[in-house]
């Protein structure tokens, strides 16, 4: 974090300071900010955030032991550290992020990019950060730090030398993206797609559209919206951009996109295509597995070229990326039995994309195996969407469909109803049962997809299979 006096810090979070240990209002602090006492380093600032299962106030002493010099608290605790008392630790974190980013922006050449969409945010964030980091100091979220805590913590990592801040904005309810993006007013906003992910929380697809469009509304006047021309709902955000005084840059597979991909070829080793950006065309060989990641790469290229990076530099840097993120289309196992662990998140769109990738990369002498778990946060659409996945798996000709967990059982029932009944589709209540079955069922030449939402925890099953068949 940038250097602030305790007085400035207290003002930024709208709190009251209780000084300790010889500190004064003019004492300067510049350490990293965190809500996890275990991650605090010397000179750091600990935010004692109450949680559902525990309370950060219990860990102030642990944070001090690790070097915290200031604790932001909702109530005074018995600890020998300067404390700034605020009504809400989460709101204070947001206020501090807003203050720090504004100060850096005012003093330098900081450019801010926001990313949202029902799928692909983390992959696109990582691809864009890889492109921009060779241009100058770039701050981007660790893992999927995209909520009311993770997003401000990322913002607070900026320094006076930071040239690019890439923020990922997730949401499970209306207003969350507006609140997070409003902290920094991005110069550029990427909207990837509007799908069924989190539709249960939003109340339907139209509410999801409204939520994702909050990023476009939060852009600075004169900013740029990078929109998916192939997604009708995202394309419908162009009038919103015009109302906000924001330009639009299109990416997609169609000829009308300013940044597009042609001649897409999907293989087990990656995906190749020809990328055209503003009339210039170059070949791209992505090592990240899956045709759907071409769109994420196009979004990253559209943003980076708008920020002044050449298409050639974008291509060169993207081709160094081997893995988008752990548990996202992560190749594991061996050439004998290849495991694709894509069980960090799942929605109807990403489930379909992963299944299609499995079918595309499996040769005629190889066997497709899909290990599938539940998709979360679909609300009233859950039963229908799980049915669709079972149907798609059968229509794609997946040879073995292994469904795990009671919440996913409808996938199995639909697969059986569609004709996959002669041991082609099986159901297990637990991942341990599925693991034992797969250890004896998998054979040389199998290509295995493990796909579910995070809550189903099949990513750990994928890890176990990857290790067993390595």
In the predicted model, is pLDDT for residue 218 greater than 90? yes
pTM of the complete model beyond 0.75 = yes
Contacts of 192 (CB under 8 A, 6+ apart): 115, 116, 117, 118, 119, 120, 121, 124, 228, 231, 234, 295, 296, 299
Selection from 78, 81, 98 nearest residue 42 by Cα:
81
Is 285 part of any domain? yes
Whether residue 141 is found in the same domain as residue 274: yes
The crossing angle, in degrees rounded to 10, of helices 311-318 and 293-306 is 140
User: Phi then psi for 384, rounded to 5 degrees?
Assistant: -60, -40
Q: Domain range for residue 397? A: 330-468
Question: Is 284 domain-assigned?
Answer: yes
pLDDT band at 51 (very low <50, low <70, confident <90, very high): confident
3-state SS of 429-454? CCHHHHHHHHHHHCCCCEEEEEECCH
pLDDT tens for each residue of 224-247: 999 999 999 999 999 999 999 999
pLDDT for the residue numbered 202: 59
Do 258 and 125 belong together in one domain?
yes
Across the chain, mean pLDDT equals: 93
Does the residue 350 lie in any domain?
Answer: yes
Q: Could you read off the pLDDT of 375-420 as tens digits, one per residue?
A: 988 888 899 999 999 999 999 999 999 999 999 999 999 999 998 7
Q: Is residue 92 part of a domain?
A: no
Asked whether residue 12 is domain-assigned, the answer is yes
Whole-number Å distance between alpha carbons of 294 and 149: 30
Q: Is the pLDDT of residue 132 over 80?
A: yes
Asked if residue 97 belongs to a domain, the reply is no
Q: Are residues 396 and 262 in the same domain?
A: no
Kindly report the CA angle at 92 between 86 and 96, in degrees rounded to 5? 130
Tokens of 336: 């004998």
Whether 279 and 334 share a structural domain: no
Question: How far is residue 195's CA from residue 202's CA, in Å, rounded to a whole number?
Answer: 11
Kind and range of the H or E run holding 341: strand 338-342
Q: Which CATH number goes with the domain that contains 341?
A: 3.90.190.20
Question: Do 170 and 305 fall within a single domain?
Answer: yes
Number of structural domains, the chain?
3
Q: Could you tell me if 72 and 115 lie in one domain?
A: no
> Token digits for 89?
């630790």
101 in any annotated domain: no
* 168 lies in the same domain as 26: no
What is the model's pLDDT at position 198? 54
Provide the angle, in degrees to the nearest 10, between the axes of the packed helices 348-361 and 382-395. 10
Cα gap 114→191, rounded to integer Å: 9
Domain assignment present for residue 93? The answer is no
CATH of the domain at 11: 3.40.1390.10
Q: What is the CATH number of the domain that holds 180?
A: 3.40.1190.10
Looking at the fold, whether 334 and 223 belong to one and the same domain comes out as: no
Chosen domain end from 57, 87, 117: 87
Query: What pLDDT sits at residue 54?
Result: 85
Domain boundary among the residues 318, 344, 359 is at 318
Statement: residue 37 has pLDDT above 80? yes
Q: Please check whether residues 311 and 450 belong to one and the same domain.
A: no
| 142 lies in the same domain as 81 | no
Residues 66 and 151 in one domain: no
Task: Name the domain boundary from 318, 341, 373.
Answer: 318
129 and 73 belong to one structural domain: no
């Amino acid at each position: 974090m940038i250097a602030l006096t305790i007085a400035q810090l207290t003002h930024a979070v709208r709190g009251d300071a209780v000084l300790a240990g010889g500190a004064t209002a003019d004492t300067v602090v510049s350490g990293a900010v965190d809500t996890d006492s275990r991650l605090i380093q010397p000179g750091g600032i600990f935010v004692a955030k109450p949680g559902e299962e525990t309370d950060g106030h219990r860990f102030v002493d642990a944070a001090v032991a690790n070097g915290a010099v200031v604790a932001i608290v909702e109530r005074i605790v018995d600890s020998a550290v300067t404390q700034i008392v605020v009504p809400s630790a989460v709101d204070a974190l947001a206020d501090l992020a807003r203050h720090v980013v504004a100060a850096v922006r005012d003093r330098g050449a900081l450019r801010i990019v926001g990313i949202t969409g029902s799928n692909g945010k983390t992959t696109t964030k990582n691809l864009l950060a890889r492109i921009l980091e060779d241009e100058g100091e770039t701050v981007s979220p660790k893992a999927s730090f995209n909520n009311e805590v993770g997003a401000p913590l990322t913002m607070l990592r900026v320094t006076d030398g930071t040239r690019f801040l890439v923020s990922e904005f997730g949401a499970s309810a209306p207003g969350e993206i507006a609140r997070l993006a409003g902290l920094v007013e991005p110069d550029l906003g990427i909207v990837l797609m509007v799908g069924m992910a989190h539709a249960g929380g939003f109340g339907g697809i139209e509410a999801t559209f409204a939520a994702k469009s909050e990023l476009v509304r939060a852009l600075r006047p004169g900013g740029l919206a990078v929109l998916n021309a192939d997604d009708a709902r995202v394309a419908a955000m162009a009038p919103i951009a015009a109302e906000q005084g924001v330009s639009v840059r299109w990416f997609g597979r169609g000829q009308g996109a300013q940044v597009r991909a042609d001649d897409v070829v999907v293989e087990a080793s990656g995906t190749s295509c020809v990328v055209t950006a503003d009339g210039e065309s170059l070949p791209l060989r992505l090592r990240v597995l899956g045709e759907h990641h071409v769109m994420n790469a196009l979004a990253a290229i559209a943003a980076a070229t708008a920020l002044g990076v050449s298409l050639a530099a974008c291509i060169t840097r993207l081709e160094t990326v081997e893995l988008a993120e752990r548990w996202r289309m992560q190749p594991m196992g061996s050439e004998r039995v290849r495991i694709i662990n894509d069980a960090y998140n799942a929605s109807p769109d990403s489930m379909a994309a992963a299944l299609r990738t499995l079918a595309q990369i499996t040769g005629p002498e190889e066997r497709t195996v899909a290990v599938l778990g539940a998709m979360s946060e679909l609300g009233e659409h859950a039963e229908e969407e799980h049915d669709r996945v079972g149907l798609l798996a059968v229509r794609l000709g997946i040879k073995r469909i292994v469904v795990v967990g009671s919440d996913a059982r409808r996938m199995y029932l639909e697969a059986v109803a569609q004709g996959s009944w002669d041991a082609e589709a099986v159901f297990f209540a637990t991942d341990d049962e599925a693991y034992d079955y797969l250890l004896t069922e998998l054979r040389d030449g199998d290509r295995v997809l493990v796909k579910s939402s995070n809550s189903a925890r099949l990513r750990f099953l994928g890890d176990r299979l990857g290790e067993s068949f390595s």
